[in-house]
Amino acid sequence: MTITMVPMRWWHIDQAVGIDAELFGSTAWTAAQFWSELARANRYYIVLVKPDSGQQVLGYAGIAMTAPDADVQTIAVASAIQDQGWGRKLIARLVDIAHQGGCRRLMLEVRDDNTAALHLYTQQGFISIARRSSYYGPGADAIIMERDVRDGRE
């Protein structure tokens, strides 16, 4: 299966919303949230698409950059292609984008019970620096993680 990584455009939003709903349920982003993110000057979003199937979106990621820091706004890989290294590739691209944008570190929040994501981020050089109590709702804490993007990029 051929999958390419391209900048996110408005025509990718409906499919991204569907993936977000599947993966994140009640905390999924709406189309309006994606539109708002794409409209902001300091944001950069990418999508994984399957070109031979009418540009089917299979994942996406985005960051907000305000040097010297960048923040992961969202990252998701459709369940059909999980465990194939696409999350790692999206993170590596975000690291490159942050570095090219003059940032020194990339930060993110992840649910404390999302063990797969925590493992992935740790493997990609992120370290836990804090916890936000009930960030995702009552009893759903966030772990704040960061990674230096100046050195050791993949």
Query: What are the structural domains, with CATH classification, of the chain?
Result: 4-148 (3.40.630.30)
Q: Helix 115-123 crosses helix 86-100 at what angle (to 10 degrees)?
A: 50
The CA distances from residue 43 to 36, 109, 116, in Å, are 10, 17, 26
Structure confidence at residue 154 as a pLDDT band (50, 70, 90) = very low
Identify whether 68 is preceded by a cis peptide bond (ω within 30 of 0).
Answer: yes
> Which range (9-18, 118-127, 131-140) has the least confidence?
131-140
DSSP for 42-108 reads: TEEEEEEEEGGGTSEEEEEEEEEEETTEEEEEEEEE-GGGTTSSHHHHHHHHHHHHHHHTT-SEEEE
pLDDT, average across residues 136-153? 86
Tokens linked to 87: 């999350």
Count helices and strands (H / E) in the chain: 4, 7
pLDDT tens digit sequence for 13-66: 999 999 999 998 888 999 999 999 999 999 999 999 997 777 899 999 999 999
Cα–Cα distance for residue pair 138/134, rounded to 1 Å: 5
Per residue in 58-106, pLDDT (tens digit) is 999 999 999 899 999 999 999 999 999 999 999 999 999 999 999 999 9
Rounded CA-CA distance 83/77 in Å is 9
CA atoms within 13 A on the CB side of 135: 14
Count how many Cα atoms sit within 13 Å of the Cα of residue 52 in the half-sphere of its side chain: 3
Find out whether 19 and 76 touch, Cβ atoms under 8 Å: yes
C-alpha–C-alpha distance, residues 71 and 32, integer Å? 20
